[in-house]
Amino acid sequence: MIHSHSQWGAADQIGAGNLLTVEKRLAALASVRQGRVYDVSHEIYMGAPFMAPNQTPFLMSIFGSWRDTIKRRRKMGATNDAGTNLERIEMTAHVGTHIDALGHFSNGEMLYNGNVAADVVTDWGLDRLGIEHAPPMISRSVLFDVGLGVPGQTVTPDDLKRAADAAGFTVESGDIALIRTGWGRHFGVDNARYLEGEPGIDVPAAKWLIDQGIVAIGADNMAVEVLPNPNKSLMMPVHQFALAECGVYLIENLALEELAAERIYAACFILLATKIRGATGAPVRPIVMV
């Protein structure tokens, strides 16, 4: 059941982003000792995997090239042959490594914080809960290395607890949860396999994380949650629970193999979402710093 209003008030549009306190940011930044950066995103390119039919492929073409612009500027009197290359891109906001806005998913007609979808979703984007409201995320990330790697296999709360114990961290309010299932190794390598299903969390694991104050849940798969869901009558219940009910962000298609290989389990995490007004998500380039 959707809560009528969030704990942060009827006007709130950032959900668990409210847990990103000044103290949390400073602590994360203070943890950086070596200045090493781990890029946990994938490249965005034509041919990258996408979830049809709800999503469309990423398309890019050169809209203006150096040849055209030099000729045009010569006609305008320019003598320095200044050529410009400019592309045109068609895409959904959910291509490659990206973050979901709180308005991305509904439970029936209800969006996060008692917002009615018919009042929010327009032909030209979201009037509320768009990705422009997502705050800059500078906090501690915690890596749950569960490494299942089988479609339809559920990451349980016990799996997460075991991973945290093995890594030696305790989840704290304001943390960003990163879940390595191992499925990300197929991204861009075997896209058909990557899209056929995935290991991931179900609602009980999401609830365990959210109850401890997690701001966002990210994973090395296309939807964070297990696909297909073991309960064949449910589709995308984690999206409904996290986004629409709890106001917790989801980060999808992360690249977590390097972090896991080097056992970087708790570190400074930085993610900035492009402020595309009314968008249901945004491609991102999150990093982890140690």
Verify that 68 and 128 share a domain, yes or no: no
* HEC profile of the chain: CCCCCECCECCCCCHHHHHCCHHHHHHHHHCCCCCCEEECCCCCCCCCCCCCCCCCCCEEEEEECHHHHHHHHHHCCCCCCCCCCEEEEECCCCCCCEEECHHHCCECCECHHHCEHHHHEECCEECCCCHHHCCCEEEEEEEEECCCCCCCCEECHHHHHHHHHHHCCCCCCCCEEEEECCHHHHCCCCHHHHHCCECEECHHHHHHHHHCCCCEEEECCCCCECECCCCCCCCCHHHHHHHHHHCCEEEECCCCHHHHHCCCCEEEEEECCCCCCCCCEEECCCEEEC
Verify that 151 and 283 share a domain, yes or no: yes
Residue 224 included in any domain = yes
Verify that 83 and 113 share a domain, yes or no: no
Question: What six digits make up the tokens of 243?
Answer: 């986004």
Verify that 144 and 106 share a domain, yes or no: yes
Q: What is the pLDDT of residue 6?
A: 82
Give residue-wise pLDDT tens across range 163-178: 999 999 999 999 999 9
Verify that 143 and 283 share a domain, yes or no: yes
Number of domains in the chain: 2
Verify that 107 and 143 share a domain, yes or no: yes
* Strand 176-180 to 216-219 pairing: parallel
Q: What is the pLDDT of residue 60?
A: 97
Q: 75 lies in which domain range?
A: 59-90
Question: What six digits make up the tokens of 107?
Answer: 């439970």
Return the half-sphere exposure (C-beta side, CA atoms, 13 A cut-off) of residue 275: 4
pLDDT band (50, 70, 90) for residue 162? very high
Q: What is the pLDDT of residue 1?
A: 41
Residue 130 included in any domain = yes
Quick one: which of 251, 290, 283, 244 has its CA closest to 267?
A: 290
In degrees, rounded to 5, the angle at the alpha carbon of residue 177 between the alpha carbons of residues 92 and 229 is: 65
Verify that 75 and 188 share a domain, yes or no: no
Verify that 144 and 241 share a domain, yes or no: yes
User: What percent of the chain lies above the pLDDT cut of 90?
Assistant: 96
Verify that 86 and 97 share a domain, yes or no: no
Q: What is the mean pLDDT of residues 212-233?
A: 97
Give residue-wise pLDDT tens across range 134-159: 999 999 999 999 998 789 999 999 99
Q: Is the pLDDT of residue 2 over 50?
A: no
**What type of residue sits at position 137?**
M
Q: What is the mean pLDDT of residues 63-83?
A: 94
Q: What is the pLDDT of residue 4?
A: 55
Verify that 78 and 158 share a domain, yes or no: no
pLDDT band (50, 70, 90) for residue 282? very high
Q: Is the pLDDT of residue 71 over 80?
A: yes
Verify that 67 and 194 share a domain, yes or no: no
CA 26/CA 275 separation, integer angstroms: 23
Residue 9 included in any domain = no
Q: What is the pLDDT of residue 121?
A: 98
Residue 118 φ/ψ, nearest 5 degrees: -65, -25
Beta bridge partners of 217: 177, 250
Give residue-wise pLDDT tens across range 9-33: 999 999 999 999 999 999 999 999 9
Verify that 79 and 190 share a domain, yes or no: no
Give residue-wise pLDDT tens across range 233-281: 999 999 999 999 999 999 999 999 999 999 999 999 999 999 999 999 9
